[in-house]
Amino acid sequence: MASFETPEAVLEAARRTREAGYRCLDAFTPYPVEGLAEAIGSAQSRLPLWVLIGGLCGGLGGFGLQYFSMVHNYPYDVGGRPANSWPAFVPITFELTILAAALVAVFGMLAANGLPRPHHPVFDAPGFERATLDRFFLCVEARDPRFEKDATRRFLESLNPKDVADVAC
């Protein structure tokens, strides 16, 4: 694991590491650095699709709930209005669409990120508490097919980092 002092440095290092053939990379930064996720080879997230599905389920479920209860399960006759008076069902359908989509967005994001995970090996890296402040880390994981302890360390050192450390998994 190598640490850098500026976002540009870690971005450049990530590009060069990937060009050198490493595939299992991760980077840790205090704020989102544009292009870094692509540079370490992270695929575009499928979260938007899941949110769309969640929203559709919420909307259909909301309308279905109202249709079932107001038409089948317990129809009220209020002044002879139709049981399936769908315009009156629009507000709740809309709200449940948004609610379901938002819940999927947040919990889907957490689940895909593997959070909550109170401890992770990278927390043991020296100075890692600065990853949420002003330090930028690039990590080559040991499961990388090209990973080889000393060679990888020499390679990371060639990228002009602030320092390089081993992190036990």
Partner 1 sequence: MATPEPARKKTPLVGPGYTPVGAADEISDLVLKRPLTWEWLLGAGLAFLLLGVLAIAVSVLFYRGVGIWGINIPVAWGFAIGNFVWWIGIGHAGTLISAFLLLMRQKWRTSINRSAEAMTLFAVLCAALFPLLHLGRPWFFYWLIPYPNTMWLWPQFRSPLVWDFFAVGTYLTVSALFWYVGLLPDLATLRDRAQHPFPRLAFGVLALGWRGSARHWQRHQTAYLLLAGLATPLVISVHSIVSLDFTSAIVPGWHSTIFPPYFVAGAVFSGFAMVLTLLIPLRAAYGLKGLITARHVDLLAKMMLATGLMVDYSYVMEVFTAWYGGNPYDWSLMVDRMAGAYAPLFWAVMVCNVAVIQLLWSARVRANPAWLFAIALVANLGMWMERVMIVITSLHHDFLPSSWAMYYPTVWDWATLFGTVGLFFFLFFVFIRLLPVISISEVQKLVIEEGSR
Binding residues for partner 1, per CB under 8 A? 7, 14, 26-33, 36-37, 39-40, 42, 45, 47-48, 51, 55, 65-66, 69-70, 73-74, 76, 78, 85, 88-89, 91-92, 94-96, 98-99, 101-103, 105-106, 108-110, 112-113, 115-120, 122-123, 128-134
Minimum CB–partner distance for residue 102 and partner 1 (Å): 5
Minimum CB–partner distance for residue 150 and partner 1 (Å): 25
Query: Which residue number, 57 or 105, has a Cβ lying nearer to partner 1?
Result: 105
CA angle 40, 44, 46 (to 5 degrees): 140
**From CA 26, how far away is CA 137, in angstroms rounded?**
8
Minimum CB–partner distance for residue 18 and partner 1 (Å): 12
Helix (H) or strand (E) holding 93: helix 90-112
**From CA 110, how far away is CA 30, in angstroms rounded?**
18
Minimum CB–partner distance for residue 22 and partner 1 (Å): 14
Query: Which residue number, 98 or 154, has a Cβ lying nearer to partner 1?
Result: 98
Tell me how far CA of residue 63 lies from CA of 9, 83, 101, 128, in angstroms: 52, 13, 15, 49
Is residue 41 a contact partner of residue 25, using CB atoms and an 8 Å limit? yes
Query: Which residue number, 31 or 150, has a Cβ lying nearer to partner 1?
Result: 31
| Cα 42 versus chain centre, distance | 11
Minimum CB–partner distance for residue 88 and partner 1 (Å): 4
